[in-house]
């Protein structure tokens, strides 16, 4: 087992536990729940096989569906986010140079770049999750507003966690 694989497994377990034990019990305004577990897919390496990334996203979402009893909503939304990830990376960073194993985190993309990247993908995830959850276009603008608020809340939590991860990684490099 490589060090990178162990790091991803530990990150996966910690993010799932944080989501299930803490964040699923937080409801901002009665309808906004921050989803920290999406950080796992956001931080998968640049050079990951796209099919493998979709499979990882599906099973990550399926685990969240199991704990939340949501019948595939998280799996579908997370797979859509993972599917859009290469296009978003290419849109914002068309000429970025990466080494095998590099992750699209704050250390590689910078603070502003990471926020653009994360918010764009989280907004896609939130819109899909919200519309799949209610399964209607009634109150379309209210649902879009709910998705945007959820995306801001999730991006804030993801940014805090990434700052913790990036700070720890910087200390190890020095």
**Three-state SS annotation for 7-41:** HHHHHHHHHHHHHHHCHHHCCECCCECCCCCHHHH
Enumerate helices (H) and strands (E) in the chain, giving the number of each.
Answer: 6, 0
158-174: pLDDT as tens digits: 999 999 877 655 544 44
Phi then psi dihedrals of residue 20, to 5 deg: -70, -45
pLDDT of residue 112 exceeding 70, the answer is: yes
- What residues contact residue 128 under an 8 Å CB cut-off, 6+ apart? 76, 77, 80, 81
Average pLDDT of span 114-120: 96
Per the structure, how many domains does the chain have?
Answer: 1
Could you give the CA distance from residue 57 to residue 78 in angstroms, rounded to a whole number? 6
pLDDT given at position 174: 42
The boundaries of the domain holding residue 23 are: 3-32+41-173
Q: What's the pTM?
A: 0.90
pLDDT in tens, 2-28: 777 888 888 899 999 988 998 877 777
């Amino acid at each position: 087992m490589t060090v990178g694989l162990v790091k991803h497994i530990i990150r996966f377990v910690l993010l799932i536990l944080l989501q299930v034990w803490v964040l699923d019990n937080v409801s901002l305004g009665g309808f906004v729940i921050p989803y920290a577990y999406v950080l796992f897919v956001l931080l998968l390496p640049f050079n990951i096989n796209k099919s493998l990334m979709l499979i990882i996203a599906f099973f990550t979402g399926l685990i969240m569906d199991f704990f939340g009893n949501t019948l595939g909503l998280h799996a579908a939304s997370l797979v859509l986010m993972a599917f859009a990830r290469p296009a978003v990376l290419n849109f914002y960073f068309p000429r970025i140079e990466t080494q095998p194993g590099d992750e699209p985190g704050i250390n590689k993309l910078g603070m502003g770049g990471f926020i653009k990247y994360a918010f764009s993908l989280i907004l896609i995830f939130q819109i899909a999750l919200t519309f799949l959850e209610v399964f209607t276009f009634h109150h379309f603008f209210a649902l879009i507003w709910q998705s945007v608020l959820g995306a801001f809340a999730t991006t804030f939590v993801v940014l805090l966690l990434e700052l913790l991860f990036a700070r720890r990684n910087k200390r190890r490099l020095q």
